[in-house]
Amino acid sequence: MTNDDKLQTPATLSDREIEIIELVTAGLTNEKIAARLEISKRTVDNHISNILEKAGTGVDNRVALVRWALQWGKVCLHDINCCSLPERE
């Protein structure tokens, strides 16, 4: 099985998890994500761990997470691979 095959897992994410992935994709560290969202770094760490677990085998670091999120339309990057995300209230 190739690494690309391992990225073939869609997942249902919460609005907060999608928000976290968007910030990871933008290049923010966990500390900066925490400051931006006004939550603790540990909460960000937990969200990222949960997202990695939901994403499945082969998604075990930030780079793989961004690749997975782009592949499955979870995030948009510079108007490339843009998707319609649910509206936030």
Among the ranges given (4-13, 18-27, 54-63, 64-73), the one the predictor scored with the smallest mean pLDDT: 4-13
Q: pTM for the full model?
A: 0.73
Q: Is there a contact between 88 and 15 (Cβ–Cβ < 8 Å)? A: yes
Q: Is there a contact between 77 and 25 (Cβ–Cβ < 8 Å)? A: yes
- The share of the chain scoring above pLDDT 70, in percent, equals 73
Nearest to 12, CA basis, from 43, 50, 62? 50
Phi/psi at 88 (nearest 5 deg)? Answer: -100, 145
Among the ranges given (9-18, 27-36, 51-60, 77-86), the one the predictor scored with the smallest mean pLDDT: 77-86
Q: Which residue stretches of 1-89 are H helix? A: 3-6, 15-25, 30-37, 41-55, 62-71
Q: Which residues contact 41 (CB under 8 A, 6 or more apart)?
A: 30, 31, 34
